Amino acid sequence: MKHTLGILTLTVGLFMASCSNLLDVQPRQSIDSGVALTTREGINAAVTNVYTYQKDITLYGRDLIAIAEALGDESRIINRAGGRFINEGQNVINSHLLGWNIYYLGINNINLILDALPSSPFNEAERERIEGELKFLRALNYHNLARVFAYDPKVRISSLDRGGVPLVLKGVSTPEQIENHPRASVDEVYAQIYKDLTDAVAKAPTTGAPSRATRAAAMALFARVALYNEDFTNAIKYATDALNAGVGRFVGNTDYVAAWRSNSHPESVFEILFQTRQESLGVNNSLQSAYTTMESVAQVNSLGALRPTPLPTANGWGSVVPTTAFLGLHQTGDVRRQLYQLGLNRSGSIVEECTKFVGKSGVIYMDNVPVIRISELILIRAEALARSNGDQAQALADVNRIRTRAGLTALPTTTTNAQLQTEIELQRRLELAFEGHRWFDLKRRGRDVVKSTGNVPYGDTRTLAPIPVREIQANNKLVQNAGY
Amino acid sequence: MRNTLQQLCLLVMVLLGQLAWAQDRAVTGKVKGDDGSPLPGVTVLLKGTSRGTTTNAEGNFRIEAPATGRLVFSFVGYKSQEIAVGNQSTLSVTLESDASNLNEVVVVGYGASLTKKETTGATANVKGKEIENLPNPSFDGAMQGRAAGVQITSNNGTPGGAVQVRIRGVGSISAGNEPLYIVDGVQLNNRNDGGGNVSNNPLAFLNPNDIESIDILKDAATAAIYGAQAANGVVLVTTKRGKAGTKAKVNLNMYRGVVEPIRQLDVLNTQQWIQARQEALITNTPTLTPAASRTTVLASLNLPVDLSDQAIAELPTYNWQGEAYRPGSVTNADLSAQGGNDRTTYYISGSYNQQDAILRNVDFQRFSGKMNLTSKLSNKITLDAGLTAASVSQRGPYGGSEGSLAFGAPQYSAPLILPINPIYAPDGSYYGLPASGIVMPGDLSQNVIANSNLIKSKTGTRQLVANLGLTYAINKDLIFKAFGGLDYRSVNSSFFGDPRLSDYFNIRGTLNQFVNNNTNLTTNATLNYNKTFGSKHTFGALLGAEYRQEINEGTSLNAQGFPTPELNTANAAAEPVSVGGFWSGFKRAGVFTNLRYEYQKRFILSGIIRYDGSSRFGANNQWGVFPSISAKWNLAEENFLKGSNVVSDLGLRFSVGSTGNDQVANFAARRLYGLGGVYQGNAGIGVSQLGNPNLRWERNVTYNVGLDYGFFGGRLKGSIDAFQRISRDLLLTRSIPQTNGFNSIFENIGEVQNRGLEFAITTVNVNTGGFRWESNFNITFLDNKVTKLFEGADVLPGNLSVRVGYPLFTNVGVPYAGVNPANGRPMWYDPSGNLTYIVRTADQRPLGHSGITKQFGGFTNTFSYKGFELSGLFQYDFGRVIQNTQEFRLADNAGVLRNGLEYYFTNRWTTPGQITSVPRPANNRTEISGRVSSYQSGTRFFQDASYIRLKQVSLSYTVPPAVVSRLKLSGLKVYAQAVNAFTLTRWTGFDPEFAIEGGLDNQGIIPQSRNYTLGVQIGL
């Protein structure tokens, strides 16, 4: 009896002594945060990962493009997809652009790498390249956040202005680092974007375009940000620099349509790459499916040439389609009109659909998404020149470059500044249609959105997206946008 | 080194069993009933140990016992008797028959068993007999309505599918609420590993007919022995064992029956839909003439736009629900043999069970084998071995098995497809397949019947549960037991999307396959001491140590591009799309003790302490202590009641104690970088978890006051329990501002309180002239409330239904105010009570009801007369108010190109001044003013999901022994049974029973079915 108890005590003692070992299980699919970013491999993989957030459905995967178009005035929504985009198309309250969490997820990962860089095994030149790349991406995230959730700097409606977005510049990886971030002012946000882009222009690599961040991409984004900020000097400067950087090729009239059929758009200064089949967002979530019922470049081409009876089966939902009024803006002979063609029968309707995203990668429901391309840069410079009463000849030359390439006649030198500005706006619409620009262009100019489902006048609170309610609940320092 | 050390620990524990000291001697005897006839099958147990035997056919038994030991004789329907062994070597025992079952044995964990009278805790018991031959593939579902305090809700009506068991309410917000399941000592993993293809209930490996009894430990008095795993209660299952000394008994048992849908939803016919659609278009475009609207509607249906009224009236309507929901069959056959001599007993069984869901091509099939062997290797050493092997095959539905919003899923789409769409083309082929070039009009353009019939979704689960126990009687008072248990499960699942179907046409078919292997090991060693000092003081002590580990790993693949539908293995695919893999695991260790003191059977005091560690928690808090203390005063043993002929039993119980919950992800406490996405063909990593080194157990503190009663010789008996269960330091996913780059962090914050009353009453209403009527009634009243969240939060950010002062699943929203009689537009109440057309998210508020059950239970009545028995169980669940999310999609009145319910059509607003709750039809469910909210917004669809149903009714006839013996059989019984025969509810969906925890709802689920079975039981 005594022996038994003795042995039992010993056993239990032994058992407990090895307890720390007894309970030792290490995850095999994850790395401890403390060591993840101490190696070259770790940091490289983390940088790779930062790009993947841009592919999210709420960002360039679809919504930042398709919902922006649905909110704007160039599209109408056909109910072919169980109500997808219907509410956004009607600008129903709370149906708006999304992505708050994804932007900040990307930003935090960027911040963590930036924090880890100084003690990383990379040499100074390598660190600089990574820093430049990441600061471009951080600027892109903040600019998209700012234009979705806040007013643009020069057209604020002070009675409704609740500020910019929270600026978070330090990485968070432990519970102690959690903060309730308040909204920074719009100017502070823009100042930070300027700062990041200045660094990116100086430090980002010169190779890797268009799917990686480069100096050219940083210049191009700087030009766009400066235009939103009505800082025409910088817009002109950086648009010019970017155009001279040798990234992206201004395509001609003959290969204009072909450019939209190739996997990577030749004009792209920066584009989001979808490469492997598993990256496809599928029928329910892809940009292709939002825009068209057609399945592939081949099908678009063959249907363009001949429409057989019966028609092939529809694939995508094709719910966000151009309005007749928008199609009517194209003059006869405009090559860009060829990017809209009759799709397939879904839910009893066959309509003209935008074919800019038709599975160009060769995989259905998967397209690279140009973020900034040469034509936008030309139009940025033209607009900045025209609106700042700068070099009118250059502005005219720029807009004529777009016009003549499309197959239209050049405007005469007698064109007035007002006419020029109107024309630039029109060319922006035609050139960048269905690429997610129009909604933001109207917003940064303080224009009303005029559409048959009900107008959204500038000053209507639906101009800004609501900050997710859970954010307001979780963060007592965060102020919701007016009207929500 | 670590492993070596662990193995050494275990080895030492097992070796302890080899040591020997004191001496027992054999005691033999005979047990008779009070009528003088021998009683076979009586359990003879050496008190305070797990050593026992049963009497043979002649009522004889033989057991090794020390002179100071006490033998407990117990048998169903008789009062237990306890006899001190003393010097006697032969005993003659007469058991007194008893309608009260208070003396029955209650299993309380680690092999210990007590009589009901000795139990200080709140327990419930379900006899194997009660759930025998119920067409439930798993025992958890079969317990529904049979135990007070135990609420059982099937996730949906999939046979062999997941079931939620909640013992005394829902205590946890973010961590699991599942009880700990233990079958013959083996702690099971009850995670659904079906991966969405099938609803996979891991408890379905066990044929319920192999179960002897189920004991449910509800309060800390008994559950605390399982420490950190016991917060949600413990379910102990004991399977059948052979009875010593009986002649081998062979039983053949078969039943067969039909499964049928409970109801279909009344949807619009083609003409009604066209009418509603025309109105909807005009609502949004008032300038549209009726003729123009009609043209548009006809065009959207691919019909000639100039159809006459007559032609429209003649358009067909097809019943997609009728084709999707089909009657099926249910079959069960099992064969068991049991017997043994005084040294070795056995129970062996094999079974086949098959059951169809009411949705096409969804079913469950199980082959299982069970073997229990108990053998006395020597007078001191007893070996107890059990083995259950099961092979379960399930076919799953198109779309997720726990609810699907896939347009191709028949369980979601069948009522929504426009009724003008035929199911089959004139030549009998499926209508509208992509290759035909025909596109079905409407949002739902997939032939869901073709989807059901052509996909191949098959999941096989192979499970092996084994237990091996070695009991060593060190001396008459001290028993050592070493135990090892294995629960191994391998799930093999594949889903083949046929290339002929809409979703897979352009990718030429897809195959998803995965393998998930789970190995779960439990081992423990216990030392049990029991001694009576003098005649008044009994002292018992249990000391033990336990170790459990689990490893879960798997791989998966996806491939596309199949040459023909017939070739559907992965090697036939043109393109491998992706591969996946995962690995996870946890370890637990603990030591525990239970000390008991009993004074003259009158006063009982019991205390438990368990010290438990789990790898799931933060480095700073891996270990926790779980104590409990409980007491019982058996008033019926007091002199003032002892002679009473009214009171046969009266016991007052009290317990308080603490138990833990560690049902969180295995690595929830770690700071992690996990796999991110892929870019440029490279895999990335991203920060994935904040981690919390202080993360620790969620702790439940339970207070229980209970009364066990029996009157009039047990004709009226039962128990009443009042409890308060406080779940504190909740393992809560606290939402943090996403600007930090994370959604949430796991922290120990918040508190939920469950208070309740449980009543269990059994009465023998009539017992004369061979006619007997017995009633069993139980009801549980539950009051659930969130009492604390975290600093500064009265509402859980991101989940408005969790708020301080309100029950969990509190419904929030903007109250619906019905339709403006003037124009037919839906209105809501803003916070100041004014009518508005706009629902603002910020205006959401509690609506005064919640999705949590307030009362539940069951009521069984059994009538028996001369071999006939009629038994019926009413099961009920009151108080759940739930948004009918399925109806939400069916209330569009042709606002979109989908079908909807007739109710909304008939009651729609059509004329000014009309008072109704159904707005006028509107295209896209929204009036044409941008700011106006959608018709689906707010709180239109909350409904009372309370129900009472005749869960089970059965009629059986046991053929008299005289006839049976002439047939050279030992027993014969035939029976007919109906399950879910009828349901009373105000819920307007398919069925009010479905789970809402874990983000589930009633959209696209397979509803409950009604079953009728006929069976026969033959004793060979």
ipTM of model: 0.93
Per-residue pLDDT band at B840 (split at 50, 70, 90):
confident
Structural domain contains residue B12: no
**Do B539 and B682 belong to one domain?**
yes
A36-56+99-204, CATH topology level: 1.25.40
Q: Are B675 and B661 in contact (CB under 8 A)?
A: no
Start-end of CATH 1.25.40.390 domains in chain A? 36-56+99-204
Indicate if the pLDDT at residue A161 is higher than 60. yes
* Pairwise CB contact (< 8 Å): B933 & A212: no
CB contact under 8 A, A51 and B684: yes
Confidence of residue B19 (pLDDT cuts 50, 70, 90): very low
With cut-offs at 50, 70 and 90, classify the pLDDT of residue B97: low
Q: What confidence tier does A8 reach under pLDDT thresholds 50, 70, 90?
A: low
Give the domain CATH number at B363.
2.40.170.20
Smallest CA–CA distance, residue A427 to chain B, in Å, is: 28
Handedness of CA B301, B302, B307, B310 (dihedral sign): negative
The last residue of one of the domains, among B98, B125, B144, is: B98
Q: Is B455 left (phi over 0), alpha (psi -120 to 50) or beta?
A: beta
CB spacing of B671 vs A32 below 8 angstroms: yes
Per cent of chain A over pLDDT 70 is 95
- Helix axes A124-149 and A186-203, enclosed angle (nearest 10): 150
| B591 in A contact zone (CB under 8 Å) | yes
- State the pLDDT at residue B938: 76
Is the pLDDT at B453 greater than 60? The verdict is yes
Q: Is B2 on the interface with A (CB under 8 A)?
A: yes
- Whether residues A92 and B934 touch (CB distance < 8 A) is answered with yes
Residue of B nearest to A46 (CA): B685
Q: Do the beta carbons of residue B930 and residue A454 sit within 8 Å?
A: yes
Residues within 8 A of A (CB atoms), B 230-259 only: none
Query: What residues in B contact A83, CB-CB < 8 Å?
Result: 443, 896, 924-925
Partners of residue A21 in chain B, C-beta under 8 Å: 2, 5-6
- Least confident range from A133-137, A269-273, B709-713: namely B709-713
Chain B CB contacts of A28 under 8 Å are 583
Confidence (pLDDT) at B17: 39
CA distance B114 to chain A (A): 25
Residue range of the domain that includes B971: 181-243+247-261+326-809+851-885+944-1019
User: Using a CB-CB distance cutoff of 8 angstroms, which residues of chain A are in contact with residue B922?
Assistant: none
Are B74 and B201 in a shared domain?
A: no
- Per-residue confidence (pLDDT) for residue B10, from 0 to 100: 45
Closest partner residue to A347 among B16, B743, B897, by Cβ?
B897
Q: Which candidate in B281, B740, B802, B889 is best for mutational testing of the A interface (most A CBs within 10 A)? A: B740
Give the pLDDT score at B20.
35
pLDDT in tens, A427-476: 999 999 999 999 999 999 999 999 988 899 999 999 999 999 889 988 99
Mark yes or no for CB contact B683/A466 under 8 Å.
no
SS (H, E, C) B736-805: CCHHHCCCEEEEECCEEEEEEEEEEEEEEEEEECCEEEEEEEEEEEEEEEEEECCCCCCEECCEEEEECC
Split at pLDDT 50, 70, 90, the class of B36 is low
pLDDT at residue A409, rounded to an integer: 96
Are B214 and B91 in the same domain? Answer: no
Among residues B72, B98, B124, the one where a domain terminates is B98
pLDDT at B507 over 90: no
pLDDT on residue A167: 98
Q: What pLDDT does B48 receive? A: 76
Are A469 and B676 a contacting pair at CB < 8 A? no
Could you read off the pLDDT of B766-792 as tens digits, one per residue? 998 889 999 999 999 999 999 999 887
Look at phi and psi of residue B601 and say left if phi exceeds 0, alpha if psi is from -120 to 50, else beta. left
* B849 to B168, B754, B798, B881: CA distances (angstroms): 20, 16, 19, 6
Residues of chain A contacting B507 with CB distance shorter than 8 Å:
364
The winner for highest mean pLDDT among A77-91, A316-330, B195-209 is A316-330
CB atoms within 10 A of CB A124: 7
Domain membership flag for residue B374: yes
Nearest CA in chain B to A51: B679
CA B142/CA B144 separation, integer angstroms? 5
Cα–Cα distance, A107 to B918 (Å, whole number): 46
B391 strand-pairing partners: B367, B462
Cβ contact (<8 Å) for B682 and A48?
yes
B196 and B336 housed in the same domain? yes
Mean of the per-residue pLDDT values of chain B: 90
**Listed residues B98, B121, B148: the one ending a domain:** B98
In this predicted structure, the answer to whether residue B505 has a pLDDT above a threshold of 60 is: yes
Provide the domain count of chain B: 2
Which chain A residue's Cα is nearest to B295? A348
- Which residues 6+ apart lie within 8 Å of A301 measured at CB? A261
Both structure tokens of B490: 């391998």
Residue A6 has pLDDT above 70, yes or no: no
Strands, E assignment, B55-197:
60-65, 70-74, 81-84, 90-95, 105-109, 112-115, 123-127, 150-154, 163-167, 180-183, 186-187
**Residue B93's pLDDT is what?**
86
- B618 touching chain A per CB within 8 A: no
Provide the pLDDT for residue B443.
Answer: 85
In Å, how far is B894's CA from the nearest CA of chain A? 12
Interface touch A93/B931, C-beta < 8 Å:
yes
- What pairs with residue B764 in β-bridges? B774
Alpha-carbon Rg of chain B, whole angstroms?
31
Distances (CA, A) of B496 to A306, A434, B399, B500, B514: 34, 36, 12, 11, 12
Q: How many contacts, defined by CB atoms under 8 Å, are there between A and B?
A: 346
Q: Determine whether B1006 is exposed, middle or buried from the number of CB atoms within 10 Å of its CB (0-12, 13-18, 19+).
A: buried
Residue B50 reports pLDDT greater than 80: no
Whether residues A83 and B925 touch (CB distance < 8 A) is answered with yes
Distance from the first to the final alpha carbon of chain A = 75
CB contact (8 A) between residue A348 and residue B930: no
Is residue B962 packed enough to be buried (19+ CB in 10 Å), middle (13-18) or exposed (0-12)? Answer: exposed
Spatial CA neighbour of B756 closest among B83, B168, B142:
B168
Q: Which amino acid is at B371?
A: M
Residues in chain A closer than 8 A to B19 (CB atoms): 3-4, 7
Q: Is the pLDDT of residue B714 over 90?
A: no
Q: CB distance from B665 to chain A under 8 Å?
A: no
Percent of chain B with pLDDT over 90: 69
Specify the pTM: 0.87
Query: Would you say residue B141 lies in a domain?
Result: no
Nearest to A112 among B527, B674, B687 (CB): B687
What is the per-residue pLDDT for B31? 87
Distance of CA B492 to the CA centre of its chain: 22
Nearest chain A residue (CA) to B899:
A82
Q: Where is mean pLDDT largest: B61-70, B118-127, B847-856? A: B847-856
Q: Do B507 and A93 touch (CB under 8 A)?
A: no
Task: Return the pLDDT at B23.
Answer: 61
Average pLDDT over residues B653-673: 93
Q: In this complex, is the C-beta atom of B393 within 8 Å of any C-beta atom belonging to chain A?
A: no
CB B78 within 8 A of CB B105: no
d(CA A22, CA B693): 18
- A124-157: per-residue pLDDT in tens? 999 999 999 999 999 999 999 999 999 999 999 9
3-state DSSP call for residue B649? strand
Quick one: which of A106, A62, A60 has its CA closest to A88? A62
Distance from CA of A281 to the nearest CA of B (A): 13
Judged by CB atoms closer than 8 Å, whether chains meet at A346 and B439 is answered as yes
- Contact list, B613 vs chain A (CB under 8 Å): 19, 22-23
Using the beta-carbon criterion (under 8 Å), do B589 and A22 form an inter-chain contact? yes
| B residues 523-542 closer than 8 Å to A (CB) | 525, 527
Q: Say yes or no: B186 and B91 in one domain.
A: no
B169-182 residue pLDDT tens: 999 998 999 999 99
Residue B710 contacts A where some CB pair is shorter than 8 Å: no
Q: Is B270 exposed, middle or buried (0-12, 13-18, 19+ CB in 10 A)?
A: buried
Query: Are B675 and A29 within 8 A, CB to CB?
Result: yes
Q: Could B300 and A91 be called an inter-chain contact, meaning their C-beta atoms sit closer than 8 Å?
A: no
The model's pLDDT over B808-824, given as tens digits with 9 standing for 90+, comes to 999 999 999 999 999 99
**What are the pLDDT digits (tens) for B130-165?**
998 888 889 999 999 999 999 999 998 899 888 999
- Are the beta carbons of B437 and A310 separated by less than 8 Å? yes
pLDDT of residue B461 exceeding 80, the answer is yes
CB contact under 8 A, B926 and A90: yes
B55-65 tens-digit pLDDT: 877 788 888 88
Read off the pLDDT band of B1 (50, 70, 90). very low
Distance of residue B418 Cα from the nearest chain A Cα, in angstroms: 11
Closest Cα of chain A to B673: distance in Å?
Answer: 5
Check whether B366 has a pLDDT greater than 50.
yes
Same domain flag for B93 and B214: no
In a domain, B782, yes or no: yes
Contact assignment for B676 to A52 by CB distance below 8 Å:
yes
A178 to B745: CB separation less than 8 angstroms, yes or no: yes
In this structure, the strands spanning B105-109 and A369-373 are unpaired
Q: What is the model's pLDDT at position B908?
A: 96
What's the DSSP call for residue B50?
S
**Residue B185 C-alpha, separation from nearest chain A C-alpha, in angstroms:** 21
